[in-house]
Amino acid sequence: NAGVTQTPKFRVLKTGQSMTLLCAQDMNHEYMYWYRQDPGMGLRLIHYSVGEGTTAKGEVPDGYNVSRLKKQNFLLGLESAAPSQTSVYFCASSPPGQGMETQYFGPGTRLLVL
Amino acid sequence: GQNIDQPTEMTATEGAIVQINCTYQTSGFNGLFWYQQHAGEAPTFLSYNVLDGLEEKGRFSSFLSRSKGYSYLLLKELQMKDSASYLCAASDSNYQLIWGAGTKLIIKP
């Protein structure tokens, strides 16, 4: 049981490049989330999903897109990376029946945009 | 607006007790969470309070006062491995978590 995994662990991009971050969970969780974490700030929700085929915007969605084609996977895309998107990105999932709470986190992806 | 406040950093001695405070203001309230995050790692769930009072779980306890918008995390018999950031998060009316910036706890021998 791997829990929540994220790919890649670390990436360097140039301004304007695109990339996709992959999150996978093997716990059969309905809800999945993408957060970013910056120094001195709390986790900020980018997008989330309450089930396969559904996505919704969080607190800071601009510059990001997401897809949930399969229940176990949640993809975060950056179409045109900007230095302001340098951050640590965490994916999380919640078990069914408990709402959007008790979240289980992946190990994070460190992204540097030059 | 929605806001979570907690101290930026605290220092304590191995074997001692430390209390980390958190105050919150949210649109609706569906519970208060504490997570632990070691440097360079993911947050991990510690506790959840939705009713007033103290919840004890081993060396860690968490308290909630809904009328005061206040919670604390109490860590007893501190160990060096407790050096980490402790994140307070409140669940709002939409069951979304509003996160504090975290309290970095430094344990000294």
Give the residue-averaged pLDDT of A51-59.
Answer: 93
pLDDT score at A96:
62
Q: Residue A99: is its pLDDT beyond 50? A: no
Give the residue-averaged pLDDT of B64-77.
Answer: 97
Mutate to test the interface with A, among B26, B50, B95, B103 (most CBs of A within 10 A): B95
Give the residue-averaged pLDDT of B93-99.
Answer: 85
Q: Residue A1: is its pLDDT beyond 90? A: no
Q: Residue A42 is nearest to which of B31, B95, B102, comparing CB atoms?
A: B102
Q: Residue B76: is its pLDDT beyond 60? A: yes
Closest residue, chain B, to A100 (C-alpha) = B95
- The one-character DSSP state at B58 is T
Q: Residue B32: is its pLDDT beyond 90? A: yes
Q: Which chain B residues contact residue A105 at CB under 8 A?
A: 42-44
- Min Cα distance B14 → chain A (Å) is 26
| B interface with A, Cβ–Cβ below 8 Å | 4, 8, 30-31, 33, 41-45, 48, 87, 89, 91, 94-102
Q: Residue A27: is its pLDDT beyond 70? A: yes
- The one-character DSSP state at B81 is G
Give the residue-averaged pLDDT of A55-63.
Answer: 94
Q: Residue A5: is its pLDDT beyond 80? A: yes
Tell me the pLDDT of chain A averaged across its residues: 92
For residue B29, the SS3 value is coil
| Helix ranges, chain B (H) | none
Give the residue-averaged pLDDT of B63-76.
Answer: 97
Q: Residue A105 is nearest to which of B30, B42, B91, comparing CB atoms?
A: B42
pLDDT score at A101:
67
Tell me the pLDDT of chain B averaged across its residues: 95
Sign of the C-alpha dihedral, residues B46, B51, B54, B57?
negative
pLDDT score at A97:
56
Give the residue-averaged pLDDT of B92-103.
Answer: 88
B79: burial class by Cβ within 10 Å (0-12, 13-18, 19+)?
exposed
User: What does the alpha-carbon distance between residue B43 and residue B4 come to, in Å, rounded to a whole number?
Assistant: 17
Residue B78: which of B8, B6, B20 has the closest Cα?
Answer: B20
Convert the pLDDT of each residue in B40-52 to its tens digit. Answer: 999 999 999 999 9
Sign of the C-alpha dihedral, residues A100, B103, A42, A15?
negative
Subunit contact A58:B30, Cβ cutoff 8 A: no
Q: Residue B91 is nearest to which of A40, A48, A101, comparing CB atoms?
A: A101
The percent of residues in chain A predicted with pLDDT above 90, rounded, is 82
